[in-house]
Copies of this chain bind each other. A is one copy, B any other.
Amino acid sequence: MFSEQIALLQMRCGENPEENAAHAEDMITAAREQGASLIVLPELFRTRYFCQWEDARYFDWAEPIPGPTTERMQSLARKLSVVLVVPVFERRAAGIFHNSAVIIDADGSLLGIYRKMHIPHDPLYYEKYYFTPGDLGFRVWTTRWAKIGVLICWDQWFPEAARLTALRGAEILIYPTAIGWHPQEKAEWGRVQHEAWEMVQRAHAITNGVYVAAVNRVGHEGPEEGGLEFWGGSFICDPYGRIVAKASHEREEIVMAPVDRGLIETMRRHWPFLRDRRIDAYHELRCRFIDDP
């Protein structure tokens, strides 16, 4: 049995970035005390989910990598001897901002950056306004505790992203997330949306034979009669798609589960999908659409 545990910090994100950062540090410390070796924060955890609005002032919240948040979290990782995945609203240059995450090893070293590749833009998720699409591709990092791939939120809906990350040897696909219900839609569509979100990610675990860990924020943000109700529901599933830990829709929680590397080996021996991919017949995956001749 692999004794390392992954912890997802399902948190509320308030108005004050400094308070959010301090709160994240407290939760990281608590998760470490509970035995976590790898700890993941939700997408853009340092701020409200400002993409509900298109307003140039929010670019002020961006910072470089390395920068204040990265360095602060590197210190904490070193102190606690824990691997951290830390989302950062990245200012790369004037006019080039990314929705990123830094991967920090248990000795505090900065292993690398993932820049969100698939950018949504839909009512109250106006991300194409803020974020330049990532240009670093789909990556993995060999941390002290596991070989991990990091993807962000909207990436969840793209099997291509999961596959490419798994093909690089990821044992765990990690998805920092900010997804919620439109309060007006929740009664009719809430359950379908949440189920689809969870199901698609569990399917990535199965088709690739990897663990999947998705961490979402929780709580309502925005105007009382509208805004977004972030649905929490952070979860970890094993390579068979079985959910091994899962949070509520209402509360802040530390979601924790052990990762058993042996299960990846066993699962892929019995369900050898990677053996049978028809790589000779996949070239048209690079097409937008294949029109009738």
Contacts and interface: CB of A to CB of B under 8 A. Distances in A.
Contacts of A169: 289-290, 292
A163 B292 contact: no
A57 interface: no
A126 to B, nearest CB: 14
A192 B240 contact: yes
A285 B163 contact: yes
Copies per complex? 2
A225 interface: no
B279 A286 contact: yes
Given A160-B285, A169-B290, A154 B202 contact: no
A285 B165 CA distance: 10
Contacts of A192: 240-242
A137 interface: yes
Contacts of A284: 164, 167
Report which residue of A122, A161, A164 has the largest number of chain B beta carbons within 10 angstroms of its beta carbon: A164
Contact of A278 (B160, B195, B240): B160
Nearest to A138: B281
Contacts of A286: 279, 282-283
Interface string A190-228: 001001100110111011000000000000000000000
A183 interface: no
A177 to B, nearest CB: 15
Interface string A136-155: 01100000000000000010
**Which 10 pairs show the lowest CB-CB distances between chains A and B?**
A203-B203, A159-B159, A200-B203, A168-B290, A196-B206, A167-B290, A279-B286, A157-B273, A118-B276, A117-B278
Interface of A: 117-120, 122, 133, 137-138, 154, 157-161, 163-164, 167-169, 192, 195-196, 199-200, 202-204, 206-207, 240-242, 270-274, 276-279, 281-290, 292
